[in-house]
Homo-oligomer: A and B are copies of this chain.
Amino acid sequence: MNFCSHCGARVTLRVPPGDHLPRYICDACGVIHYQNPRLVVGCVPEAPDGQILVCKRAIEPRRGYWTIPAGFMENGETLQQAAARESQEEALVDVEIGTLLSVVHVTSAHQVHVFFRARLRRPDFGAGPESLDVKLVTPDEIPWEDIAFPSTSFTLRRYLEDRAAGLERHHFTEFSFRR
């Protein structure tokens, strides 16, 4: 951030009075520009036969690697609505969002990833504009070596463990790394 998005003047980075962290401050109009973590929301869509839907990314980062439907949450929607919308956009599927599955703090990227269990309402699926390929896989067929993100691997492993145990738990973890 170099300029004030409100008035267009240059901003400076310093700790405001009474605060404890540096912020981008506009001395021209007085606005303090706070920067906060963004929510990335997705789900593990399961077919009636137990297969799981995975998507091959058509966009960077990690183009060509496999993931599950997920993306940035938009203003005005719930976490569940975001997860369903991303599933529709990336895999052209209609999902029923279930219980909370995982919360992954990607602290170095200033992101919080939230995943839910989900069920396919209809058997139809296909590759949306952000996917090169979409397919249903059994647990043995999950391409673990080619999964796009650590939060995806973590979420899929917890999903399978819980399913094998007959439980619907939720799991917190943190990944911190430089990209």
Say yes or no: is A149 at the interface (Cβ < 8 Å to chain B). Answer: no
Interface of A, secondary structure class, is loop
Listed stretches A46-54, A69-77, A131-139, A157-165; interface member: A69-77
Q: How many angstroms between the C-alpha atoms of A103 and B3 in the bound complex?
A: 34
Across the interface, do B112 and A39 meet the contact criterion of CB distance under 8 Å? yes
Copies of this polypeptide in the complex: 2
Across the interface, do A105 and B79 meet the contact criterion of CB distance under 8 Å? yes
Which residues of chain A from 1 to 28 have any CB-CB distance to chain B below 8 Å in the complex?
1-8, 10-11, 18, 21, 24
Q: How many angstroms between the C-alpha atoms of A75 and B34 in the bound complex?
A: 10
CB closest residue in chain B, given A130: B18
Say yes or no: is A129 at the interface (Cβ < 8 Å to chain B). Answer: yes
Say yes or no: is A122 at the interface (Cβ < 8 Å to chain B). Answer: no
Say yes or no: is A87 at the interface (Cβ < 8 Å to chain B). Answer: no
User: A100's contact among B2, B33, B75, B170, by CB below 8 Å, is which?
Assistant: B170
Across the interface, do B73 and A36 meet the contact criterion of CB distance under 8 Å? yes
User: A36's contact among B1, B8, B72, B172, by CB below 8 Å, is which?
Assistant: B72
Say yes or no: is A110 at the interface (Cβ < 8 Å to chain B). Answer: yes
Across the interface, do B18 and A7 meet the contact criterion of CB distance under 8 Å? no
Instruction: List residues of A whose CB falls within 8 A of some B CB.
Output: 1-8, 10-11, 18, 21, 24, 33-39, 72-80, 100, 103, 105, 107-108, 110, 112, 129, 170, 172, 174
